[in-house]
Amino acid sequence: MSSITHTLLRTALAVSLLGATFASQAKVSTEEAARLGQDLTPVGAEKAGNADGSIPAWSGKWQGLPPQLKYAGPGTPYPDPYAAEKPLFVINEQNMDKYAANLTDGEKALLKRYPTTFNIPVYPSHRDFRLDQRSYDDIKKNAVTAELANDGNDTQNAWGASPFPIPKNGSELMFNHTLAGRASTEEANYQQAVVYANKERVLEQVNYKINSIWSTPDKTLESSNGILTNFLITTLEPVRKKGEIVVGHEFINPTSSPRQAWQYTPGQRRVRRAPTVGYDSPTGAGGFRVYDEDRLFNGAPDRYNWTIVGKKDIYIPYHNYKIDDPSVSTDQILATTGHVDPQYMRYEKHRVWVLQATLKEGARHVYAKRVLYLDEDTWAATLADNYDSRGQLWRTNMQTSIYAYEMQRYHARLGIYHDLIAGSYLVDRLLVDQKPAKLNASNFVDEDFTPGNLRKLGTR
């Protein structure tokens, strides 16, 4: 029996029946949407805490920087609002059975795979931050206008934020994650590191320039040309790849409009359309992860059937300021074999939506089943368990996050990908020289993200 309890399965049945009832009505009624800001938060989460109080009620008492903190602005370190807190307890291989109901299969597998080094430090849970008002306004509009299209593989009549704050089926829940609001611009040097079981490392460093059209205040669904995000990624290290540049576009509807990308290679000194940049094509340092698992899932959903399993209280990475602290080096984060050093992680108990993706008959992907755990307060995936064609749990992944004060939204930070079979792991978006990304602080224009500009950059 998997970790999903009988109670959760009963919840899944109820949600499944509800999804069938609303199969032809993706939009919710005005009356149902009125729950947003009432018993539901403006995002669509349950405002109340859980029965035993280990998950508090949503307060939303802070929007932006808490009054007791000082922050120098974009590109500077974020002060930790909970820096004085200590773990309530630490889950390890010896006591994991006591907490099993609130652990994922992937977390249990890590505890068993690395019994002497992996643990889960659990801190007090907090629901203190409000998002920016634009996010709330867009979510409320989307609630009564957004619909699924193209057999559930695309959306329509949604803009700027998660489309389905009261989701009725797995496809709606999946789009809440992939279309959640992000920084309008992001500019940073990031490092990727693969650590193998023999402690050998493969490192890459890239410069990211990201322009989220979806989150840009002066853009609309009509003026976006269907573009979700523009990206320009330049490889800085290793030397053999230095100067490689990829530019491209992610689209709001990734099935009908697949990702477009062009690549400049210094050795060839020419621009060409990039090879396959979707689904299960390997990418990043060591080719460790696949394209559609950035932020745990990203890209076209059409190869899977998506199902809401239910909701559950889970210990998830949250408010992960500590691992981004300027005093913590990459070597310290990567000091252990098989996983990052747990002393720099923070977990809190939160309610999550459990979303399952099962490979469609005749479709191809290295993952036959994926289970994502979406934080109800942000719609972001925080944990993911990926299974191979034999049904074996292969990779279990984590997404850390912080509340970014300048953008008044939660921001995805380190992506941590564990190969349970090989005993290796990848950490994505490590800070280079501990310098945070500049968010909502760059003046990009559309022409920055074109093949023409790529040619200019390549000849400099």
pLDDT tens over the chain, length 460 residues: 444 444 444 444 444 444 433 344 458 999 999 999 999 999 999 999 999 999 999 999 999 999 999 999 999 999 999 999 999 999 999 999 999 999 999 999 999 999 999 999 999 999 999 999 999 999 999 999 999 999 999 999 999 999 999 999 999 999 999 999 999 999 999 999 999 999 999 999 999 999 999 999 999 999 999 999 999 999 999 999 999 999 999 999 999 999 999 999 998 888 999 877 889 999 989 899 999 999 999 999 999 999 999 999 999 999 999 999 999 999 999 999 999 999 999 999 999 999 999 999 999 999 999 999 999 999 999 999 999 999 999 999 999 999 999 999 999 999 999 999 999 999 999 999 889 999 999 999 999 999 999 999 976 5
The closest of 41, 33, 215, 53 to 128, measured between CA atoms, is 41
Residue 268, sorted as left (phi over 0), alpha (psi -120 to 50) or beta, turns out to be alpha
Residues 6+ apart with CB under 8 A from 177: 162, 295, 297, 355, 372, 374, 379, 380, 381
Contact present, 292 and 392 (Cβ < 8 Å): no
Considering its fold, how many domains does the chain have in total?
1
Q: Are 71 and 79 contacting, i.e. CB atoms less than 8 angstroms apart? A: yes
The full length of the chain comes to 460
Quick count: other Cβ atoms within 10 Å of Cβ 17? 9
User: What are residue 46's DSSP bridge partners?
Assistant: 40
443 located within any domain: no
E strand or H helix at 172, and its extent? helix 170-178
Domain that holds residue 151: 6-182+191-198+293-428
Rounded to 5 degrees, φ, ψ at 144 are -105, 0
| Strand 129-130 to 62-63 pairing | parallel
The single residue listed with the structure tokens 């400049």 is 264
Q: CA 339, CA 36: separation in Å to the nearest integer?
A: 39
Amino acid at 96: M
Position 229 in a domain: no
Q: Are 259 and 249 in contact (CB under 8 A)?
A: yes
Is 9 strand, coil or helix? Answer: helix
Rounded Cα–Cα distance for residues 420 and 425 (Å): 9
CB 166 within 8 A of CB 30: no
Is the distance from CB of 260 to CB of 246 less than 8 angstroms?
no
- Alpha-carbon distance of 49 to 306, in angstroms, equals 27
User: Cα(first)–Cα(last) distance of the chain, in Å?
Assistant: 59
Whether the pTM exceeds 0.85: the reply is yes
Residue with tokens 């990308």: 261
Residue 265 lies inside a defined structural domain of this protein: no
The gap from C-alpha 221 to its chain's centroid, in whole angstroms, comes to 23
Which residue do the tokens 């193998």 mark?
A: 196
Write the CA distances from 93 to 97, 114, 326, 327, 338, integer angstroms. Answer: 8, 8, 30, 29, 15
